[in-house]
Homo-oligomer: A and B are copies of this chain.
Amino acid sequence: MFNINNFLHLDALKPAVEWKGFPKYNFVGGHIDAESIPVQSIKDSLNKIILKEGKTLGKYGLESGPQGFLPLRKFISNQLKISAKINCSEREILVLSGSLQALDLVNQTFLRKGDTVIIEEENYGGTISRLKRLGVNMVGIPLEKDGMNLKILEQELNDLLKKEIIPRYIYTIPTIQNPTGTVMSVAKRKQLIKLSKKYQIPIFEDDCYADLLFEKERPPAIKSFDKEGYVTYCGSFSKSIAPALRVGYLIANWEVLSRILPYKTDAGSGSLEQMALAEFCKEYFNSHIKTLKIKLQKKSEAICNALDKYFGSSAEYKKPDGGIFVWVDMHKKVDTSRLYELALKDGVAINPGNEWSINKSGRHKMRLCFGNPSIKEIDEGIKRLAIICRKEFGIPTKIANL
């Protein structure tokens, strides 16, 4: 038999585990529930656009070139003008196969092994794992209620300057930060741009959740304050419409975009997704988001209630302003990596904090996503999680109604 081990390099990634279905209580990942998918309007949109544009499927890039389906780029440009105050033309947009491709392309362009980047110290697991894999040093900045601590950021920038280290970018998720849920204030956004210019370090702004603020008004993107091309911005439709629609986008000045685009070697992103979204969004995007947010807010309340009910004061969290997750700070006795293992065996999936943080406090924190389970499942799943946690760690010390 062929033995692949003889052909793997020392830095080979660990083998995949075969997928056997989702856990019953799925509090991980950006999934949403079946009822939130606007099936009928996606179908109607596809019907319309396929008859109009289907014949262009014969060409790579349709008739739009490698930057993505032009009507979709037009929608993105118009929409972000209103929602995020970003002024950009279609030529400054690159449509991608999901915003994870944005991370990979920006990293391929800017980063090599041994480089240094600045990130919020509690951060999206996929960002941390990518940077680790690339052998990049991460300088973590703590978060305050209104986003990244900019005093500490400036200290770090000065320290790096003294050491003659040039960080390759400052990565931030300013709106509904993942996992903390914080929203960066407008004042800080403006200040961040100033620091970026002062220290001549670009910003990579990841704005995937910004459409999902429940009640607060969406703040202008950092990109909206950028007149000189310091910000590379990414967004996504996975969170606002459906995760399995693999469409995201990058926005940057053409001078920057033209250096990122050559790393996109997939001969274009999925055309049917791009076509469907272009047509769907034109008519339904804003009304769909409105409905979706109401559903998500109800689930957000359900998970907060369940945490209060079953964990009481042993689970601290900030009630989400939007999005699909809550970041929970457990008692210091609780090792969430261990909890993750035990819970998974019992059908409850959670994100252990140490995968979502580059500081040690991650050890007793966890991220819980609430987009996928029903309100009933949220209650059942959190109850089950509390029972498992109590059994292993003695936390919570008692569980109400049990």
Contact between A58 and B46, CB atoms less than 8 A apart:
no
| Residue A65 is within 8 A (CB to CB) of chain B in the complex | yes
Interface residues of A in 4-63 (CB under 8 A from B): 4, 6-9, 11-19, 21-22, 29-37, 39, 42-43, 46-47, 50-51, 54-63
Given A7-B168, A18-B91, A273-B271, A50 and B42 contact (CB-CB distance below 8 Å):
yes
Q: Which residues of B contact A104 (CB under 8 A)?
A: 265-266
> Is the beta-carbon distance between B272 and A272 smaller than 8 angstroms?
yes
Does any Cβ of B come within 8 Å of A402's Cβ? no
Q: Inside 8 A of A9's CB, which chain B residues have their CB?
A: 112
Q: Which B-chain residue is minimally distant from A275 (CB atoms)?
A: B272
Selected interface stretch from A77-85, A151-159, A255-263: A255-263
CB of A244 within 8 Å of the partner chain: yes
Beta-carbon nearest neighbor of A103 in chain B: B265
With an 8 Å Cβ cutoff, the count of chain A residues facing the other chain is 92
Measured in the bound complex, the distance between the Cα atoms of B372 and A367 in whole Å is 50
Verify B259–A59 contact, CB threshold 8 A: no
Query: Is the CB–CB distance between B2 and A256 below 8 Å?
Result: yes
Residue from A254, A259, A273 having most chain B Cβ neighbours under 10 A: A259
Beta-carbon contact of A97 and B269 below 8 Å:
yes
Which chain B residues border A266 with CB–CB below 8 Å? Answer: 97-98, 100-101, 104, 246
Known A39-B50, A259-B4; contact A31-B58, beta-carbon cutoff 8 A: yes
Extra inter-chain contacts (5) besides given A58-B244, A269-B270, CB under 8 Å: A30-B60, A36-B58, A59-B244, A100-B266, A272-B276
A38 nearest in chain B by CB position: B54
| Complex contact A259–B58 (CB within 8 A) | no
Q: Which residue of B lies closest to A64 (CB)?
A: B19
Q: Is A109 located at the chain interface by the 8 A CB criterion?
A: yes
**Is A187 an interface residue when CB atoms closer than 8 A count as contact?**
no
